Amino acid sequence: MKLIYSTLLLMLVTCVSVAQKKEAVSDVQYRRSSLHRILLESESFPKKDAVMDSYNSAPFPEKYNNHEIAEKSFNPLDYLLTNEEKAANSEPKTGFGNMASGIAKNAKEGIVDSLANDMPLIISKYFKENNIANKLVAKWYDRKTDGSFGMNLICERGYYNASEMEANIAKGSARGTSVLADAGVELIKNTFVAVSKMNFVSNEPIAASIREVALASANEMSIPMVRKKAIDVANKIYEKTKEGYLVMTTSYLYQLDWNESIENTFYNDLYMDQSNIDIAKVDAFDKSDLFQMKYIGKEHSNNLVTFSLKENRTEEQVINLATVRNVDKVYAKLQKKYDVFKTKTPLYSGFPITAKIGMKEGLEGGEKFEVFEQVLDSKTGLTKYVSKGNISVETDKVWDNRFIATSETDSEKSEINVTSFKGGKNFYSGMLIRQIK
């Protein structure tokens, strides 16, 4: 424990020096979850290059810290499961490291392709063979080429108070070491990887199949006028829907496994700064299986795009719009389904009650949110969140903050630039809200 305390003390001093250099910011300082995104290199499909370009150039979700590392895509065919691996993961408490025991059950649900049943295990195999969890931890601790670690990123994202830390260090308070424990819970533990698979399916074959069935049914009608009307309707529907694509996105969500035991082992056995380089620790970190990813779950989103309904846009712009909005939609569904992935958002104003979230986050009106106040616990020196009530989204006052295609003009954008809420009182700008079921 003395070694851990000494290590943390040195790291806190680093935080102090970084915090002293940090300039004041005008926006609300709150701790966000961190996200890394990976794209599955799937089989060829229509307009694949345009889809991939749209995905790679899409804005990063602003409610998360950008925790991206070099590994941003892979081909699942390179990580197919052996029969032994499938058998090993058919029972709980076995398999790759610390994967959730329910992974095999979740994997059996299937989505749209032949690899869907095994995909969560395939992704976990990729994580293990490429040390993805280790690399995420290395980014948190500013790992250098010599293998040494630092605290700049943790200090920056944790918004630590320099003077308070200095005081705690000077008097040897337990609050000094508890600050990094706080960072572990709020920052490092809330590190996620979203692995997405995308596909575009041409509408024409689907529309043609629907028309074929409709025409067969129409030709069985005995009344000529009714038969002709039914045939006309089938043909019109075909002409209206044959152009464009069905956009499909499936995202698999994983979380970095981080707890007190892992944290202590890291500080004791693997952590070192530039003043104390140990080659053995460099090698130990690179080969360590201490860090693992936990499978949380998956969501999928479909979006039908018909070019005939999208005036004044090129085909590339339509693909760009559909791709980015579909990814935003699947992230919003993951947030609603899994509490651990939900984001906090500051109130923009307390009267009226508004916030800078909207349709991109899946809001339609009527959704409920809990309001929190950030306070400093006088006993522990740590940040805690005190519930101050609930609010709900006003139906007719939802901000359309979805991705805008480059061809759209300012006049086409919504005049509303915040979402309004109702319910509760005595709220103020900077309080945090989080959606509840």
Residue 396, amino acid? D
Residues 159 and 31: their CA atoms lie apart, in Å, by 8
**Does 352 sit behind a cis peptide bond, omega within 30 degrees of 0 on the bond before it?**
yes
Region of residue 430 (left: phi > 0; alpha: psi -120 to 50; beta: else): left
Q: Which pLDDT belongs to residue 266?
A: 93
Residues 313 and 331: their CA atoms lie apart, in Å, by 26
Q: What share of the chain is helix, strand, coil (3-state, %, to 5)?
A: 45, 20, 35
Residues 6+ apart with CB under 8 A from 146: 274, 277, 282
Question: Looking at per-residue confidence, does 53 or 36 come out higher?
Answer: 36
Radius of gyration of the chain (CA): 26
Question: Looking at per-residue confidence, does 174 or 225 come out higher?
Answer: 225
With a threshold of 0.85, does the pTM exceed it?
no
Q: How far from 6 is each of 9, 148, 266, 347, CA to CA, in Å?
A: 5, 16, 14, 39
pLDDT digits (tens, 9 = 90+) for 81-131: 998 888 887 643 333 344 433 333 343 333 346 678 899 999 999 999 999
Residues 69 and 410: their CA atoms lie apart, in Å, by 35
pLDDT digits (tens, 9 = 90+) for 211-248: 899 899 989 898 889 889 999 998 988 887 777 778 88
Residues 317 and 47: their CA atoms lie apart, in Å, by 12
Residues 255 and 278: their CA atoms lie apart, in Å, by 30
Is residue 80 classed as helix, strand or coil in its secondary structure?
A: coil
